Chain A
Amino acid sequence: MIRFILLQNRQGKTRLAKYYVPLEDSEKHKVEYEVHRLVVNRDPKFTNFVEFRTHKIIYRRYAGLFFSMCVDITDNELAYLECIHLFVEILDHFFSNVCELDLVFNYHKVYLILDEFILAGELQETSKKAIIERMGELEKQE
C-alpha cells in the first residue's frame, strides 16, 4: 500500500503531498523534511530505493523535481518505480511538456489526476489513456 506521495523540488519545497494514512500536520512536515533530506543528496547512479523508518521510499528525479512514494517494505520496488513514471507521463501528456510551474498553478488538477490514478493507497488505473480520457470528461463537465 502507498503511504504517501510527495513531489518536492531540490530546495525541499513541497509541490504536492498526498497522504493515504492519516497523519498530524506536524508529523507531515517532519516526514516531508526527512524524505527530502534522504533523497536530495543521493547520487544519480544510486538505487531509487531508500529505507525510511519501517517503510521504504521509492523515488525518482525528473529535472529538479523529486517524486517520492512511500510504500510497505514488502511491496515491489520496480512496480512502484514504473508507477511513478506513469504518473509523470500522464502529467506530461496533460500539461503538454510539464514543468514545475504547471504544477504550482494547477495544483488542484494535479490532485485530480492523482485521484484518478491512486485511491486509498492502491493503484486504480494502469492505463495512461484511460486516465487522460477521464480527465477530458471531467473538464468537459465544466
Chain B
Amino acid sequence: MDRNLDPSIVAERMQEPNIFRKDELEVVGQRTPKNKHLPDAFGLRAPPPAPRPWRGGSSSSSSTAPSLVDSLFQRSLDDLIKSLRSQPASAEPVLLSRALAEIRREIRSPDPDTKAVALQKLTYLSSIHGLDASWAAFHALELLPSPSPLHKRLAYLAASLSFHPSTTDVLPLSTHQLRKDLSPSSPPPFSSLALHLLSLSASPDLARHLASDLIPLLSPRASSTITNTKNNNNNSSPLRPKAAAAALRALSLCPDAVPLLFKPLVDCLSSPVPRIVSTAVGAFAELVSTTDPAPYLPLAPEFYRLLTDSRNNWVLIKLLKIFARLAPLEPRLAARLVDPLCDLLRRSSAQSLVFECVRTIFSGFPDHDHALRLAVDKVKEFLANDDDPNLRYLGLRALTMIGPRNSWAVEESRDSVIRSLADPDPDPNIRREALRLIMGMVFDTNVVEISVMLVNYAMKSDPVFANEILDAVLTTCGRNVYELIVDFDWYVSLLGEMVRNPHCAKGEEIERQLVDIGLRVRDARPELVRVARDLLIDPALLGNPLLCRILSAAAWVSGEYVEFSRNRLELVEALLQPRTSLLPPLVRAVYIQAVFKVLAFCFNSYIDQPEASQVSSLGNSTTGLGLTIECNAAAANCLSDDITGMESADGIASLLSSIEKKDPFFTCEYLSHILYLIETAVGPLSENADVEVQERARNVLGLIHMLKEIPVWKTEEEGFKKDKDNRIGKIMNLMRALFSEELGPVSVNAQKRVPVPEGLVLKENLADLAMILTEGDIAPSMSISFSLRSHQHMEIKDEAMPSVQSTSLLAEHRKRHGLYYLSAEKDDTESNDFPHALDPLLPGSHSDATEDLVKLTEQSLIPRKVKPTKPRPIVLKLDEGDGVSTSTSTTVKESKDDLLSGAIHDVLLGNEGKPSSSQKRSSNKSSGRRVKEVSDNSESVSQSKENLDLGDRENRSSRRSKHRSHDKERHRSSQNNEEKEEKSHRNSTRSSHHHERQKHRQRGEAPLNVVPQAPVIQDLLL
C-alpha cells in the first residue's frame, strides 16, 4: 500500500463503486429506497475516509490484521445490501461467505468506525440471512463503551440480537458497562439501550447483579431529575416505564431481587403518568399470570382503583386479566367487580375490551346472572358478524368458556354455531370451535342424533376435519366408560360406520372401544359380532393400512364371541381370505387365533348337540355359550342366575332361538368342510417369516392333525358319538377349557395392587443397559423377525406359496362375495365404491347437505326428555379410577415460580409497611378524588369497605405465616428490622460490590423512606 496516496484520489475511488452499483440497480429495475441519504443522515454509515487519521503502517504490515485498504475501501451496509440484491439468488451463498470473510477481517480493526460498520453488516446478515453472529459477541462488547451514540447503538443492537443468556460466555463482561450506562449520570438514551439489552439477554446472574441499579430509574424522583436536566419535559420521562419492563424481566429471572424491585414497581401503579401506569400494569399482569396469584391479592384495591379510573383500553384489558386470576381466590372480589365490568361492557366501543370483559365474566363470574346476560348478548353480536371471521371465532371461543352450568347460553346461539360448522368455506379454527361447542351440547337424549349427523358430515369433509369430527365423537361417547350411551347396539354400529369413512385415521381408538365394549357390555356382544363380521368380510378394507387395527379388533371380537355369530363358515372364510396377506403380521396372528377359536367352538357345539336337543334347559344353553363342561351343576346354576339377573327375559329368548337356529349347521360334513378350508389356507402360513403368525398357524394345524389322526373321525356319525368319551371328547374339552374363561376389563390401578416381589429393585438406574446394548447388539425392537429356518429359504417359500394358491382362492372368494369386488379389474384398495350401511346422504349437492345438517341439529340439539325404549345395559366398571378421566390435574409449578411468588408474598404480606402504605396513600388519594369528581360516592364507600376486607385477609394470612408474625402495634419498628435484615442479606450475597451497591440503594430507597405513613390510615387498613 502506497502511503503517499493522494487522499482526494482515494475519495474519488470510493465514490465509483457506489455510483456504478446504483446504475446497475436501476437497470435491473429494482426499487431503491426513497430516502437514500437516510443512512448517512442517521450516521450509521462510515464517515468519508478523508478526515480519518492515519495510523501508520503497523496495522497494514500484519497479514491477518485489517489493512488500511480495508478501512479505506470498506463497503458500507448499503453497498452490501445492494450487491446482494443485484445478484441472482443462486450467487447468494458465495456473496455471503465473501462478505463474512470481509467482516471477519474488518471487525478486528482498531478503528472504531471500521469496527462499527463491520458489526452493523454482520448484524444485518445474521438477522436477515440467518448467519451465525455469536462469534462476534466480544467485538460487540468492545464497542459498548464507545462515547459515540451511534456506535453505542450499533453495539447494543448487535448485542441484543445475538446474545443468548445461557450460551454467550462473554455476557458477564458486559455487567460493568451496563451498570455504567444505567447510572443516572449517563444520558437517558444510553440508559434506554442498556435497559433493552438487560430485558432481552439477561442471565439470572446479570439480573441479580444489576437489580439494584434499576431502582433509581424506577423511582419517580430520580427519573424526573434526569428528565428535568436533559429534556425539560417532566411528563414523558422515557426511562421509568422501560425500567419497569426491565424490572419485570429481572424479577422473573431472579426472585432474590423481589425485596429490591417490587416496591418501586408497586409505586409505579400510582404514578400520574399514564405510560408508566400502563407498563406497570402490564408487568403485574405478566407476574400474576405466570406465577401463583395469591400474593398479589393485597394489591387488589389499587388495581380496582385503576379499573374504575383508567380510560386506556390496553390498561383495562391487562387489569381484567389480573382480576380474572385474582377473583377465584377472593369471593368478595367478584361482587365488587361486576358493576364496573358491566359498565365497561355497555360503554366501550373497542371490541378487544368488550371481548376481554366477556371472557372475564364467563370464566370468573358465572353466578351473576345480570352480567352473564349482558355478556351473552354481546357474544351474540359477535356471532352475527358475518363479515368478520375474527369476531365470530372469538364469539365461539367465549361460548366454550361458559361451562356446562350455563349451557342455556350456548343453546341460545345454537343456530350460529351450526352455521359456523356448515359454512361452505370455513376457517379451520371456527369449525373446530363450533365442533367443540356442539360436542359440549351432547346429552344422553340427543347423543344419537348428533353423532349420526356428525359422522355423516365427516363423510363429506376434508380428511383433517373428518378425523377431528370422528375424534370428537369417539371421545365424547367414550367418556367416563360410555356414560352417555344407552343403546349400545346403535353405538357399535356407529363405530362400524366410522370405519367406512375413507379418511378415517382413528384406528387405534376405534379398536380400543370395540374390544372394550366387548369386554364390558355383555348385551352389546351380538351386535358387536355382527358389525365385526361386516368389517371382516369386506376385502376392500384389508388394503387400508389405517384400518388394520380395527380389523384386528373385529377379528378378536368375532373369535372371542363366536357363539353369537350367525354363520361360522362365512366367518372362517372372511378370516382366511387371500387378501389377509396384506395385513401386518401381528394382525394376521390375531386372525389365525380367531380361526382357532371358531374351530374349537364348532367342534364343541357338535359334541354338545344331542344334549342341547334333549334337555333344552338354561344350563345347557349356557354351556353352548362356551362354558366348561367340568364346572359342576351348582356353579352352572349360579352362573345362569347371574345371567338372568343381568339380562331381560326376551334377551335370553332370542339367545336361545339363535342357538337353536344355528344347531342344524353342525353336521359332520359341515365340520369337515371347515377343516378343509382352514387346512388349505393356514397350511402355507406354518412357514411364514413372522414368528407370531407361524406359531398360531402351527397351533391350528396341530389341532387339526390331532383330530384327523383319530380313526373314529372317519366313521359314521353314530360311531363318532359313541366315541365321545374317548380322545376326541377329551381333546375338545381341553380346548373348551382353554377359551372358556371370560376375559374382563383390567383396572387402571391393577398394576399398583401387585406387590413388588422381594429382591426386585424397580428404581435402579438402568444406564448400564445402554452400554451393554451397543450398536449391532440385539436391538429391543418389537417386530420379531427371526425364524427357525434360514431367511433365504423362507422367502422363496413365501413368494411361491401365495402365487400358486392365491389365484384360485381369490377367484373363489370373488365368486362368493361378488358384492365386495369391483366389476372392472381396478385396484381393490379404492374404498369409495362400497355401499355405506348407514349413510342416507351420498354425495349430493353441498347446499343440500348443509341444510340437512342445520335441520338435523335443530331437532337434535334441544335436550329432550325422551324415555329410552330399552333399558341401558350394564356396563362393567371396576373401581373409581377405572377409565374415569380425573380432570383435577395438579399443575406442577416450577420451583422458580414458587420462589418468586414466595418472595412477593413475603414482601406484600409479611412486610406490610411499605406496600400497604403506598397502597393506602394512593387509594385514599383516589377515593378523595372520586368524591370530588363523582357525585355518587357510594363507590368510594364500597371501596373502602373492600379495603377493610382485604386488609382483614392480609392480616390473617400474615398471622398465619410463621416467619413474620408481627404485631400491629410494633409494626413500624419491625419494619426497620426488616430493612436491616434486607441490608445484611444483600451485603452478604454481594460483598464484592459492597460500596457501590450501598450508594445506589440509599439513593433508590431514600424517596420511599420519606413517604409519610399516617398510623390512622394503617389501622383502618388492617
Please say whether chains A and B are actual partners in one complex: yes
CB distance A126 to B42 under 8 Å? no
- The reply to whether B389 and A126 form a contact with Cβ atoms under 8 Å apart is no
- Of all chain B residues, the one with the shortest Cβ separation from A80 is B352
| CB of B157, distance to nearest CB on chain A (Å) | 6
Report A-chain residues with C-beta under 8 Å of the C-beta of B317: 76, 79
Beyond A47-B390, A108-B157, whether A101 also contacts B352 by CB under 8 A is no
B31 touches A119 (CB 8 A): no
Chain B nearest CB, measured from A94 CB (Å): 10
Per-residue interface assignment for chain B, residues 134 to 174, with 1 indicating a CB less than 8 Å from any chain A CB and 0 otherwise: 10000000000000011001100100010011110000000
- A129 CB, min distance to chain B CBs, angstroms: 11
Which stretch (B196-204, B478-486, B888-896, B925-933) binds chain A?
Answer: B196-204
For residue A16, which residues in chain B have a CB less than 8 angstroms away from its CB?
127
Q: B622: CB under 8 A from chain A?
A: no
- The answer to whether A77 and B390 touch (CB under 8 A), given A47-B429, A96-B34, A120-B245, is yes
| A125 interfacial by beta-carbon distance below 8 Å | yes
Chain B 102-151 interface residues, beta-carbon cutoff 8 Å to A = 120, 123-124, 127-128, 130, 132, 134, 149-150
The answer to the question of B840 belonging to the interface, with a C-beta cut-off of 8 Å to chain A, is no
Most buried by B among A14, A22, A42, A109: A22
Instruction: Establish whether residues B33 and A106, one from each chain, have CB atoms under 8 Å apart when the complex forms.
Output: yes
Which residue in chain A gives the minimum CB-CB distance to B247?
A: A120
B195 within 8 A of A: yes
Contact B390 A122 (CB under 8 A): no
The answer to whether A22 touches B389, judged by C-beta atoms less than 8 angstroms apart, is no
Q: Is the CB of B279 within 8 A of A122?
A: yes
Q: Which residues of A contact B167 (CB under 8 A)?
A: 24
Are B314 and A79 neighbours in the complex by a CB distance under 8 Å? yes
Binds A, one of B217-225, B281-289, B438-446, B512-520: B281-289
Mark the stretch among B234-242, B410-418, B964-972 that contacts chain A. Answer: B234-242
Nearest-neighbour CB distance to chain A for B442, whole angstroms, equals 24
Q: Is B313 an interface residue (CB 8 A)?
A: yes
Cross-chain contact of A108 among B154, B278, B427 (Cβ < 8 A): B154
Which A residues are CB-close (under 8 A) to B242? 119, 124
Q: Report the interface size for chain A: residues with CB under 8 A from the other chain.
A: 59
Q: Does B920 contact A (CB under 8 A)?
A: no
B289 touches A72 (CB 8 A): yes
B321 an interface residue at 8 Å Cβ cutoff? yes
A77 with B394: in contact, given A45-B389, A107-B128, A124-B279 (CB under 8 Å)?
A: yes
The answer, yes or no, to whether B560 is at the interface (CB within 8 Å) is no
Assess whether A82 is in contact with B352, with CB atoms less than 8 Å apart: yes
Q: Given A1-B286, A125-B275, is A101 in contact with B248 using a C-beta cutoff of 8 Å?
A: no
Q: Once bound together, how far apart are the Cα atoms of A114 and B32, in whole Å?
A: 23
| A88 interface hit (Cβ, 8 Å) | no
Candidates A23, A51, A78, A134; contact of B352 at CB < 8 Å: A78
Give the complex CA separation of A115 and B156 in angstroms: 12
- Taking CB atoms, residues of chain B closer than 8 Å to A13 are 128
Contact, CB under 8 Å: B352 / A142: no
Minimum CB distance partner of B243 in chain A? A119
Shortest CB-to-CB span from B126 to chain A, Å, is 8
A14 and B393: CB pair below 8 A?
no
Q: Known contacts being A72-B289, A76-B352, A106-B38, is A48 close to B33, with CB within 8 Å?
A: no
Partner of A78, one of B34, B130, B200, B355: B355
- B884 beta carbon closer than 8 Å to chain A: no
**In the complex, A102 has a CB within 8 A of chain B:** yes
Q: Which residues of B contact A104 (CB under 8 A)?
A: 33, 81, 85, 128
Asked if B33 and A105 make an inter-chain contact with CB atoms under 8 angstroms apart, the answer reads yes
Whether A123 sits at the interface, judged by CB under 8 Å, is yes
Distance in Å: Cβ of A1 to nearest Cβ of chain B: 5
Q: Which residues of B contact A124 (CB under 8 A)?
A: 241-242, 245, 275, 279
Contact across chains for B389 and A46 when beta carbons are under 8 A apart: yes
B248 A120 Cβ-Cβ under 8 A: yes
Most B-side CB within 10 Å, residue of A17, A112, A119: A119
Residues A142 and B149 in contact, CB atoms below 8 Å apart: yes
Complex alpha-carbon distance, A78 and B313, angstroms: 11
B246 at the interface (CB under 8 A from A): yes
* Contact partners of A130 in chain B: CB under 8 A: 236, 275
- B contact face: mostly helix, strand, loop, or mixed: helix
- Is B430 in contact with chain A by the CB < 8 A criterion? yes
A45-B425 contact given A105-B81, A108-B44, CB 8 Å threshold: yes
Among B130, B313, B356, B393, max chain A CB count under 10 A is at: B130
Evaluate contact between B427 and A46: CB separation under 8 angstroms. Answer: yes
B43 at the interface (CB under 8 A from A): yes
Q: Is B672 an interface residue (CB 8 A)?
A: no
A64 to chain B, nearest CB (A): 13
**How many angstroms between the C-alpha atoms of A46 and B429 in the bound complex?**
8
> Does B41 make an interface contact (CB < 8 A)?
yes
Task: Note all chain A residues with C-beta closer than 8 A to B123.
Answer: 108
Q: Given A139-B41, A142-B43, are A134 and B166 also a contact pair (CB < 8 Å)? A: no
Q: How far is the CB of A67 from chain B (nearest CB, A)?
A: 15
| Bound: A87/B81 CA distance, A | 24
Determine if A128 is an interface residue (Cβ-Cβ < 8 Å).
Answer: no
Say whether B78 faces chain A, with CB atoms less than 8 Å apart: yes
A68 vs chain B, min Cβ distance (A): 15
By a CB distance below 8 angstroms, the chain B residues around A55 are none
Other-chain contact of A119, B39, B81, B199, B286 (Cβ < 8 Å): B199
User: Which residues of B from 389 to 444 have beta carbons under 8 Å from A?
Assistant: 389-390, 393-394, 425, 427-430
Residue of B nearest to A75 (CB): B321
Chain B residue at minimal CB-CB distance from A104: B81
Q: State whether the Cβ of B364 lies closer than 8 Å to any Cβ in chain A.
A: no
Q: Are B352 and A79 in contact (CB-based, < 8 A)?
A: yes
Chain A's closest residue to B427 (CB) is: A46
Query: In the assembly, what is the distance between CA of A96 and CA of B394, in Å?
Result: 34
Q: B132, B154, B249: which contacts A120 (Cβ < 8 A)?
A: B249
Residues of chain B within 8 A of A29, CB atoms compared: 130
Bound CA–CA A10/B710 (angstroms): 79
Kindly list chain B residues whose C-beta atoms are within 8 Å of the C-beta of A105.
32-33, 38-39, 78, 81
Contact A126 B278 (CB under 8 A): yes
Contact B427 A45 (CB under 8 A): yes
Is B805 interfacial (CB-CB < 8 Å)? Answer: no
Contact of A141 among B189, B282, B389, B390 (CB under 8 A): B189
In whole Å, how far is A30's beta carbon from the nearest beta carbon of chain B? 11
Asked whether A54 is an interface residue with its Cβ less than 8 Å from the other chain, the reply is: no
Q: How far is the CB of A62 from chain B (nearest CB, A)?
A: 16
Q: Which residues of B contact A20 (CB under 8 A)?
A: 200
**Does B351 sit at the interface, judged by CB under 8 A?**
yes
Q: What residues of chain A lie closer than 8 Å to B38, measured between beta carbons?
A: 105-106, 109
How many whole Å from A15's CB to the nearest CB in chain B?
A: 7
The 8 A CB mask of B335-372 against A (1 = contact, 0 = none) is 00000000000000001100110000000000000000
Q: For the complex, give the distance between the alpha carbons of A42 and B425 in Å.
A: 12
User: Which residues 59-98 of A have a CB within 8 angstroms of B?
Assistant: 72, 74, 76-79, 81-82, 95-96
A122 CB contacts on chain B under 8 angstroms = 245, 248, 279, 282-283, 286
A78 to chain B, nearest CB (A): 4
Contact assessment for A76 and B389 in the assembled complex, using a CB-CB cutoff below 8 Å: no
B150 contacts A142, CB within 8 Å?
yes
Which residues of B are in contact with A by a Cβ distance under 8 Å? 30-35, 38-39, 41-44, 78, 81, 85, 120, 123-124, 127-128, 130, 132, 134, 149-150, 153-154, 157, 161, 164-167, 189, 195-196, 199-201, 236, 238, 241-242, 245-246, 248-249, 275, 278-279, 282-283, 286, 289, 312-314, 317, 321, 351-352, 355-356, 389-390, 393-394, 425, 427-430
6 A–B contacts, CB within 8 A, in A order: A25-B132, A51-B429, A77-B352, A105-B81, A111-B157, A126-B312
Nearest 6 CB-CB pairings of A with B: A78-B352, A120-B199, A46-B427, A142-B43, A120-B245, A79-B352
Given pairs A108-B154, A120-B249, 20 additional interface contacts (CB within 8 A) = A14-B127, A17-B127, A22-B166, A46-B427, A47-B427, A50-B429, A76-B356, A77-B390, A79-B313, A101-B30, A105-B38, A105-B81, A106-B38, A106-B39, A108-B123, A120-B248, A122-B248, A124-B241, A124-B242, A125-B241
